[in-house]
Copies of this chain bind each other. A is one copy, B any other.
Amino acid sequence: MAPLLLSLAVLILATRLLGEVAQRLGQPAVIGELLAGVLLGQSLLGLIDPSDPVIAALGGLGVLILLFEIGLHTDLRSLQEVGTQAATVATVGVLVPFVGGYAATQALGFGALESLVAGAALTATSIGISARSLRDVGRLDTPEGQIVLGAAVLDDLIGLVILGVVAALLGGTDITGWTIAKSTGLALGFVVVALVIGSYSAPPIFRVVERLRTTGALGIVALAFALLLAWIAERTGSAAIVGALAAGLVLHHTPQRREIERSVTQLGYFFVPVFFAGVGASVDLRAFGDGRTVLIGVALTVVGVLGKLVSGFSLWNFDGNRLLVGVAMIPRGEVGLIFAQVGLASGALAGGQFGAIMMMVVVTTLITPPWLAVLARSTRPRMPDQSDDGLDDLVSGARPMTPRATRPVQREK
C-alpha cells in the first residue's frame, strides 16, 4: 500500500501544479497533466508505473468517468438546430483525417492495424478544448461556434464507434469487409439500443433512487449504471468508453441530472488526472531520439491539422468564417489520447508509434487556442456573443481540465 500512497499523492500534486501552470499560460490544463505524467513516468523520475494494475485500473475508471461526464453534458436534441451543417463538418472532419492518417502511416511503413489506430486517433475533436477556446475569444455563441460544438459531439460519437471497431479488430478479429461491417453494426447498434432502452428505463429508476434515504445514492447509483453499460459494451464487442458515453447521454434528460453531475464531477477530479498522467507516463522519451518517430509525428500532425481545416471549408451555402470553424475543430485532446492508449495497451502500437500519436495530440491541442485568438482579432463576429447562455454549462463543465475558476463551488452556499 505504501508505494501506491506516495504515487497517488505525487500524481495529484504534480497534475494540479502543471495543470495550473498550463492554464496560466493560456493552455488547457490537460496539457499540464500530460506533462506531469511524462515527468513522473519511467523515462524520467520513475515515480509512476502506468503498467501497475492499480494505477491502470484507476486510470481506466478515470476515462470512463470522463466520457460519462461528457455524455451527461451533451444534449443530442440541441444538435438538430445546426444539424446539417454540423453533420457535414463532422463527417468530413472524420473521413479526411482518417483516410489521410491511414494513407500517410501506410506510406511510412505501418502495418494495417497500426495504421487503423493512427487514423482513428486523428478523427476526434475535443469538445471541451474547442468550446473553451471559442468562448475565450468570444465566438462560442456565433453560428461558427454552434456548428463546431455540434460537429465535435458528432465526431466523438463517430470516433467512438470507430474505436469499437478498432478494439474488436485489436482483439484478434480478422480484417475483412464482413468483420468491419459486423463490428460497426455492433458498436452502432449498442449505442442505439442503449439510448432507446435507457431513455425509457432510466427516468423511473432514478425517480426511485432519488427517494432513497442514504446520502449520495443518486450520483453513485448513476456511476454504477455507467459501469454496467461500459461492461455490457465491452462484452458485446463495443468499447467500454462507448458504454460510459451512452450512459451519460441517457441520463442527460433525467431531472436528477444536475445532482448526478455534481457527484460525478467530484469523482472525476480524482480519477481523470490519473488517466492523463498515466498516458503521459507511458511516453518513452527515448523514442524521440529516433528521427523516424519525429518524422511520423510531424506527418500525423500535418494530416491532423489539414484534415480538420478542410472540414471547415466543406460548408456550402455558409457566409460565416470557414477558417475559424476549421481551426476550432483541430484540437484532439482526450479522445485522441484514448485511441492511442487503447492501441498501446493492446500491443498494437509500438512505443515509437505511440509517441508519434501523442506528439500529434499535444501539438494540435496546443496550437488551437493561440491560432483562434489571432483569427478572432483579425475578423468581426457576424453576431454579438452573449456569454451567459445554456452553452456556458456545456463548456465550463464538460471536462474537469477545462478551467472555470472556483465559481461553481463557491456558488453552493
A8 to B224, CA, bound (A): 7
Cβ of A183 to closest chain B Cβ, rounded Å: 17
Contacts of A42 in B (CB 8 A): none
Interfacial residues of chain A within 201-232, with CB under 8 A of chain B in the complex: 210, 212-221, 223-225, 227-228, 230-231
B224 engages A60 (CB within 8 Å): no
Q: Would you call A19 an interface residue if the criterion is a C-beta within 8 Å of the partner chain's C-beta atoms? A: yes
Chain B CB within 8 A of A20 CB: yes
Contacts of A12 in B (CB 8 A): 220-221, 223-224, 227
- Which residues of A3-43 have CB atoms within 8 Å of chain B's CB atoms? 4-6, 8-9, 12-13, 16, 19-20, 23-24, 29
Given contacts A2-B231, A53-B53, A240-B5, contact A16 B409 (CB under 8 A): no
Chain B residues, CB < 8 A from A319: none
- The answer to whether A110 has its CB under 8 Å from any CB of chain B is no
Contact B57 A2, beta carbon cutoff 8 Å: no
Give the Cβ gap from A146 to chain B, nearest Cβ, in Å. Answer: 25
Is A84 positioned at the interface, with any CB of B under 8 Å from its CB? no
CA of A53 to CA of B268, assembled, Å: 22
Interface bits A262-304 vs B (CB < 8 Å: 1, else 0): 1101111110000000000000000000000000000000000
Binds B, one of A66-74, A156-164, A350-358, A398-406: A398-406
Q: Does A174 contact B (CB under 8 A)?
A: no
Which B residues touch A6, using CB under 8 A?
A: 227-228, 231
What are the residues of chain B within 8 A of A197 when measuring CB–CB? none
Determine if A1 is an interface residue (Cβ-Cβ < 8 Å): yes
Assess the B265–A216 pair: CB atoms within 8 A.
yes
Contacts A220-B269, A224-B12, A413-B412 given: A403-B5 contact, CB under 8 Å?
no
B54 engages A1 (CB within 8 Å) = no
Please tell me if the beta carbons of B16 and A217 are within 8 angstroms of each other in the complex.
yes
Distance in angstroms between the alpha carbons of A405 and B412 in the assembled complex: 18
- Residue of B1, B221, B263, B405 near A13 (CB, 8 A) is B221
Q: Which of B1, B216, B267, B409 contacts A215 (CB 8 A)?
A: B409
Known interface pairs A9-B231, A409-B259; A213-B16 also in contact (CB < 8 Å): no
Minimum-distance CB pairs A-B, first 3: A216-B269, A266-B266, A12-B224
Interface residue ranges, A against B (CB under 8 Å): 1-2, 4-6, 8-9, 12-13, 16, 19-20, 23-24, 29, 53-54, 57, 60-61, 64, 210, 212-221, 223-225, 227-228, 230-231, 234-235, 240, 259, 262-263, 265-270, 400-401, 403-406, 408-409, 411-413
Give me 14 A-to-B residue pairs in the complex whose CB atoms sit less than 8 angstroms apart, sorted by A's number.
A2-B240, A5-B231, A6-B231, A9-B231, A13-B221, A16-B220, A213-B405, A214-B401, A214-B403, A216-B266, A216-B409, A219-B266, A219-B269, A223-B270
